Structure 1
């Protein structure tokens, strides 16, 4: 250790409180992963093992390790965060901390508990199941939770990730552990509690950056404080008080370079540091202005983000925790998931309110990648207590998280919760006594709002998602005139894909459709005999009630049923992509009425059937390849008119410059022959959506599909097709797919895919992990597509992966 700090991460002893089970645990880490490594429990993700590991969350667990300190002069404190969740920390059997919030940082003084030489730290983590039940019993009235999402009860009583108790996409094992910092530090003479910034953009282009450092000391002292911004270093010798002292310095930036979201400009970041003796805090600062436009119009009121004076259409998805258990996640895996979002032309993610406030490095990645962050507070789909102790705990949580994160340019919005207003209608108790539960909700929501405004007055606040507006407790699932919308009628109400065109959201922050995870991922948790959608293993890896039936029922609506399990999985992914494409194409065509589409969801926490476009592990499902096309900043989509008589070709331009579009439209027969029927050149202005041309639907033969290709003056291009009726009505001819594979000098593989007939939704798959330059594409007769496959890791010399080709004809053909 240094003379002032001792990092306690590493190997600890883990045991149940009764000593029945014991092993070594890597900290930071979680209990389930330690037990799995020690072979005390099986892999919770495999087969039906989820059922066999339930006992873990029912037990109390003890983490123990020893450490040495030779010189005890001065004041010492414990620095700990992401402690999950109800826990007591002992040093040398003296209690130094009682914690009950995974989302807070704790820094108790431990000077009196330390002894020279050998010391022992012990962390007793109480079962979340027991703790939730105990706290529910203490409430003045029953506080309901979503039993459909959470098979483990009373998670709403605890300040920990709500999805730990299960969700309609997550394993239900109530993980516990210590996932963050655990260190012992000396206060000599002060520590840095927070570094916060405020930006003031002047009319002449200058930016004033106000930097506030909050220091904590146990007694008055004088200490040097260094502020550095991109090489400009200032020393201030400051007198500080016992307790907290705020030190402020202002930097004037004469010729600032602005930070922009991905696709709209560069992500310029300035290096900021604040330093006191023994400690240095570093941040990256992006200079930008941001507004949330909610002004009234004929339809209701707008919901649009304006950054650096320009309205930005938000293209993105919802983020859930990178893994169901902490120890299986890593910064590298998370970076890969976020990079996949950027690679699919996303510029925003929503950190959903049932998971974590992510660590600082997560938001650093978003800053560098240009991913705007819609940041929920961690309340989701349940009702919550409004007792003084609970609200006080939440107040500390909000203050800490906002002060920790507010300097990130990526964070666009602070949102109070996920779906708590809607939850008021989900439970018999709140339906029968709405006033009681509405008042309870308002008290919680007001604590969060006031905490945000105190900690970061410049921050943008939105009360809930979805919400039609401030203090509006209406139905934001179906009302589309104002605010943000969650539109779930297609999935949860089993409506057709066309139903997406029945609403005109101002900003849709949730909508989704399920598919199965890819076959190579399924094979990691299921045996060959389990490969049936009705098998117990496959059903256990489907957490949404009725989900498998809905996937199959939708196939009956649109497709001929696939010939086997592998093709069922393939087709589920194609129809998922078609569903989301239908929504995004139409809502983007409404711009500027609609200014954002964030689908549910980007990623998975474990291998499961879900709404994600990325597989567990980061592979791209068919939908993610489709997303890269329909989220392209300049895109062309075929939109049927409301009466169905016309097919409009809508072009949307999310760039700041006008673009010229060259569009060619073809009629394609079922054996893959194509005939050009029109060629159009048009101009689309900056940040606009316009109709380029139209076709009469009556002119399209029943046995014909409409294909189109386009190119733009800024170098973008694309293609697509439109099916007049349903795909099951098409008597497709054999596609005659062919594949040629060639190893390239850089270790990638060139795949040339050809077709003798019409091949719709061609999908290439391999058990070798990697990325394809294109996938889920169409081929007409005689056409070829060159695709580059880049393995996730370079393969041994001479190794060539095996590839499987899918397409719509082969999926359903029995001959």
Structure 2
């Protein structure tokens, strides 16, 4: 509370001398249809969770005790009422949203349910509410623009927007990188923009993770009673969409260098906003960076995240593809709705545009595709297309007005500007969402039939891990067809698809825990198949963002991180297939040969040495050949191609490599479904030893072939590696770090899985 007001629950005291003057409330993240009263006087009628409200409340205040009350209206009732008042029906995705008409409200669309989220339509005040005095002015926005970035220096243009109750003289201080400037500004009532330019010679540039330093400078602006601070990263960014022989490119260029984007899609960190936190968000984003990601797509059915989310992305080097919050539905185009959206866009763009991590502003998620999903829009496409275009233009114009430098993309997926065609299956231009493997039940190899320029969504489900399942299911529920397990699957037919795919590739698992384990292994194989192939197409393809990074609650989903942040098998595998330098195996379309591609996302020319061998079903290695190749900077190149006849029958093809920059890796390729292999017992053994720093060393060894070895602890924590292979006579040292230090003398217990021991025998 500003001034001398003292808050006690919904009541506060305002002594007589301080009651005069101009007072306002400062409110954000108010969800969603609500009226705010002071002393039973309505001071705000709100209906947009994504706006900041600053209503003048001066006339509602009184000396002594005052009381604030917020009346929340039912989102469900409000949605139905607004739908009834539309000039024509506006469809929404009933598959995703069992609660109707969420598309009528400017609130997270996943609150009405999704195929990974519970449907609870929550409401409340998630952000801040503060009573402040305008004495004499307040800061509305602090924005920056980087100019003349091409001569070894940069001009940082700073714009400070002030709002004053009456004309006054305000001392303004700007400080950047230790340089402090004072301006005494005479300002009128209302809004005033104060501009200043800082010239920086030889700037330290901000780079995405893995490409350079995440250099950040401190910028602050202060007026009497208020200071606003930003961390500024100096960098250039461009979106390359030049035409070429395949269609047109889609590549991000940062500081003059094209960057291959490796990453995942972000959904809200929890189904309930009050259960999110900086610490939880930081853990999830650090896990993304640990898996060699450099981009996060903030999906359009959740929130514009809190400031700390983007601060973390700045610090960690995660570029942000930022959707506007429209997803998988159609939306109104009435004047009141569009005016509300325009204010939302202006606020969010001005709030976030100075973050160096913000790479792209995207109009929506899948709204063009949604035009084909509903009978109403199929029967009258022109009406709904015009409605969509009006909304999309309001968003675009708002972006260009608020931040002319912004990179704008109309929708995801989209083949290009004002292109309303099918970007789901056309892979020549723009960004692509490719869901045929999951939703159409196609094989993993189907990923190799398309050549996207940038795949911003693709995914495959698995079950959440056993320690998470044990938090909501009893022993008698441990069956994929039990009501409890089915309740934690929100995608129609999802459990059947997991099972059907498993039986395509694997033998029947011997129990529920192994069913969960195999579901995660096949998820990793699916996503890895896509990423390996698409990275081998570089620079034709310049980005892969899988669906999805995180979960909002314990649920079967496409995530690589469990609810709570633990790593599923996919995340451990992603750390390998997203490594900046990798060697990938690509079978030929006719099944007669296998090509090995070197993938290099660094600025160095690299020499790569590879050992290629067959592995028998009892774990013996049989050398095939060695190879050495040179891979140009920021490119993929073929290292070697072999004929499948070089691989013995009933053996796996395996390889290991090391690059001249020290990066190394390994992998294997099964030439037939794993279920066709007569795997022999792997003889897995483990030993656990405590380390002095509270971690634990696990030694895992095998006497035979152990594929996809997974360790699972009985307490939360992270393993240095997982979902790896062991051959006969090989051991591996793994470090386990508990999330919370264990009591002295306590040693975690580990369950161990591998492919052979997961099978139903007899």
TM-score by length of 2: 0.99
**Deviation sequence 1:410-461 (CA, Å, 0-9, x none):** 0000000000000000000000000000000000000000000000000000
Deviation (angstroms), 1:4: 6.1
The within-5 A match list for 1:502-517 is 502-517=449-464
Structure 1: unaligned runs, 5 residues or longer? 13-64
Deviation (angstroms), 1:527: 1.1
Range that drifts further, 138-147 or 680-689: 680-689
The within-5 A match list for 1:102-121 is 102-121=49-68
- The residue aligned with 2:354 is 407
- The residue aligned with 1:581 is 528
- The residue aligned with 1:233 is 180
SS of alignment partner, residue 556 of structure 1: helix
- The residue aligned with 2:684 is 737
Match of 2:11 among 58, 66, 74: 66
- The residue aligned with 1:717 is 664
Whole-Å Cα distance in 1 between the matches of residues 240 and 159 of structure 2? 29
Instruction: Tell me if 1:789 matches 2:740.
Output: no
Q: Say whether the 8 Å CA contact 1:290–1:305 is kept in structure 2.
A: yes
SS of alignment partner, residue 742 of structure 1: strand
Instruction: Tell me if 1:198 matches 2:145.
Output: yes
Question: Do the aligned partners of residues 5 and 375 (structure 1) sit closer, same or farther apart at CA in structure 2, a change above 3 Å counting?
Answer: farther
Match of 2:124 among 162, 177, 180: 177
**Deviation sequence 1:521-552 (CA, Å, 0-9, x none):** 00111111111101111111000000000000
Q: Say whether the 8 Å CA contact 1:639–1:647 is kept in structure 2.
A: yes
Q: Say whether the 8 Å CA contact 1:4–1:185 is kept in structure 2.
A: no
Runs of at least 4 residues off by over 6 Å: none
Match of 1:285 among 232, 252, 258: 232
Match of 1:388 among 335, 348, 364: 335
Q: Say whether the 8 Å CA contact 1:201–1:289 is kept in structure 2.
A: no
The within-5 A match list for 1:532-551 is 532-551=479-498
Q: Say whether the 8 Å CA contact 1:4–1:186 is kept in structure 2.
A: no
SS of alignment partner, residue 449 of structure 1: helix
SS of alignment partner, residue 496 of structure 2: helix
**Deviation sequence 1:130-183 (CA, Å, 0-9, x none):** 010000000000000000000000000000000000000000111111111110
- The residue aligned with 1:218 is 165
- The residue aligned with 1:271 is 218
**Deviation sequence 1:463-519 (CA, Å, 0-9, x none):** 000000000001111000000000000000000000000000000000000000000
Match of 1:631 among 571, 578, 586: 578
- The residue aligned with 1:345 is 292
- The residue aligned with 2:447 is 500
Question: Do the aligned partners of residues 295 and 729 (structure 1) sit closer, same or farther apart at CA in structure 2, a change above 3 Å counting?
Answer: same
- The residue aligned with 2:189 is 242
Whole-Å Cα distance in 1 between the matches of residues 21 and 200 of structure 2? 40
Whole-Å Cα distance in 2 between the matches of residues 194 and 255 of structure 1? 28
Deviation (angstroms), 1:5: 7.0
The within-5 A match list for 1:289-308 is 289-308=236-255
The within-5 A match list for 1:440-451 is 440-451=387-398
The within-5 A match list for 1:378-777 is 378-777=325-724
SS of alignment partner, residue 785 of structure 1: strand
**Deviation sequence 1:31-86 (CA, Å, 0-9, x none):** xxxxxxxxxxxxxxxxxxxxxxxxxxxxxxxxxx1111222121100000100000
Whole-Å Cα distance in 1 between the matches of residues 340 and 745 of structure 2? 59
- The residue aligned with 1:127 is 74
Q: Say whether the 8 Å CA contact 2:5–2:14 is kept in structure 1.
A: no
Deviation (angstroms), 1:3: 2.5
- The residue aligned with 1:316 is 263
- The residue aligned with 1:3 is 3
**Deviation sequence 1:87-107 (CA, Å, 0-9, x none):** 000000000000000000000
Range that drifts further, 393-402 or 642-651: 642-651
Whole-Å Cα distance in 2 between the matches of residues 298 and 524 of structure 1? 53
Deviation (angstroms), 1:236: 0.2
Deviation (angstroms), 1:699: 2.2
Instruction: Tell me if 1:364 matches 2:311.
Output: yes
Whole-Å Cα distance in 2 between the matches of residues 5 and 670 of structure 1? 75
Give the superposed CA RMSD.
0.9
Deviation (angstroms), 1:683: 1.1
**Deviation sequence 1:746-804 (CA, Å, 0-9, x none):** 00000000001100000000121111000000000111010000000110000001100
Deviation (angstroms), 1:701: 2.4
Deviation (angstroms), 1:202: 3.8
Q: Say whether the 8 Å CA contact 2:612–2:653 is kept in structure 1.
A: yes
Range that drifts further, 169-178 or 700-709: 700-709
Deviation (angstroms), 1:676: 1.3
Q: Say whether the 8 Å CA contact 2:5–2:12 is kept in structure 1.
A: no
TM-score by length of 1: 0.93
Whole-Å Cα distance in 2 between the matches of residues 138 and 572 of structure 1? 46
Q: Say whether the 8 Å CA contact 1:542–1:609 is kept in structure 2.
A: yes
Whole-Å Cα distance in 2 between the matches of residues 392 and 747 of structure 1? 56
Whole-Å Cα distance in 2 between the matches of residues 286 and 203 of structure 1? 16
Whole-Å Cα distance in 2 between the matches of residues 76 and 715 of structure 1? 61
Range that drifts further, 67-76 or 432-441: 67-76
**Deviation sequence 1:596-621 (CA, Å, 0-9, x none):** 00000000000000000000000000
Question: Do the aligned partners of residues 2 and 127 (structure 1) sit closer, same or farther apart at CA in structure 2, a change above 3 Å counting?
Answer: closer
Instruction: Tell me if 1:258 matches 2:205.
Output: yes
Deviation (angstroms), 1:744: 0.1
